[in-house]
């Protein structure tokens, strides 16, 4: 019977597949690149990507049936951790229909090195820095032995330093020059001690409404509202 639906999880990938008689669609998550930042969950126009558990691992859940394989999640992923394949061929972001039809604008911003995420040869992976904002740290909520934010931050923008004589224990630090505001720290913190408040998504002026404005609003509105998106 067609379409044939499948979801496969290996040590390195999660694959959602919808196979028709003459067409084969795949959405693939590279678990070695994903930092569980939640951007794909917020960007998905059909709300079909879910967050699994635990929060500190690559744990998004793909739905091979509900997914439309539109590629928005691929386009918006800061870490290039998702890819779309049609009939065995990877579709570049430039070749996506939504990009060709101007439903999505050109994202602006540099590619930066991820000191905390490296390929099999030890080279830093690349990430897109197209978001700006600031972080809010709730020290009273933080369990500093956890280090989930430090482990998941792809650019090593978050770290703990030894507290000075008048400070209690260790102190969380943020290097704003390195932060790409992907949200991995806020999204994975088990006690919601970090909030991300994005102020801007840098993009070109050419796009069709209302598709893109709705996606942009969802990404900018997210702080730490896990109860709204957790499976």
pLDDT, mean of residues 168-186 = 88
pLDDT, mean of residues 196-211 = 92
Residue 225 has pLDDT above 50, yes or no: no
**Contact by Cβ (8 Å): 24, 88:** yes
Q: Which CATH architecture has domain 4-100?
A: 2-Layer Sandwich (3.30)
DSSP string over 120-184:
TTSPEEEEE--EEEEEEE-TTT--TT--HHHHH-TT--EEEEE--TTS-SEEEEE-TTT-----H
Q: What is the pLDDT of residues 64-101, one digit of tens each?
A: 999 999 999 999 999 999 999 999 999 999 999 999 99
Residue 163 has pLDDT above 50, yes or no: yes
pLDDT, mean of residues 156-162 = 88
pLDDT at 4: 94
Topology annotation, domain 111-204: Alpha-Beta Plaits (3.30.70)
What residue spans in the chain does CATH classification 3.30.70.20 cover? Answer: 4-100, 111-204
pLDDT at 220: 94
Pick from 30-34, 107-111, 164-168: least confident: 164-168
**Contact by Cβ (8 Å): 29, 12:** no
Reported confidence tier of residue 209, pLDDT bands at 50, 70, 90: confident
pLDDT, mean of residues 205-221 = 91
């Amino acid at each position: 019977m067609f379409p044939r639906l499948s979801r496969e999880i290996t040590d390195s990938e999660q694959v959602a597949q919808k196979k028709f008689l003459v067409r084969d669609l795949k959405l693939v998550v590279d678990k070695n690149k994903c930092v569980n930042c939640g951007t794909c969950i917020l960007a998905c126009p059909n709300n079909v990507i879910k967050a699994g558990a635990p929060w500190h691992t690559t744990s998004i859940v793909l739905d091979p049936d509900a997914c439309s394989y539109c590629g928005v999640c691929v386009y918006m992923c800061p870490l290039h951790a998702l890819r779309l394949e049609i009939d065995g061929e990877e579709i570049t972001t430039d070749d996506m229909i939504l990009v060709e039809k101007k439903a999505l604008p050109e994202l602006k911003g540099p590619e930066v090195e991820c000191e905390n995420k490296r390929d099999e040869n030890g080279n830093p992976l690349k990430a897109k820095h197209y978001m700006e904002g600031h972080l809010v740290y709730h020290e009273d909520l933080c369990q500093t032995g956890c280090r989930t934010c430090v482990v998941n931050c792809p650019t090593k923008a978050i770290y703990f330093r030894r507290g000075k004589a008048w400070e209690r224990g260790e102190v969380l630090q943020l290097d704003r020059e390195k932060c790409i505001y992907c949200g991995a720290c806020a999204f994975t913190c088990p006690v919601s001690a970090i909030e991300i408040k994005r102020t801007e998504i840098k993009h070109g002026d050419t796009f069709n409404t209302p598709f893109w404005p709705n996606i942009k609003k969802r990404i900018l509105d997210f702080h730490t509202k896990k109860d709204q998106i957790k499976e």
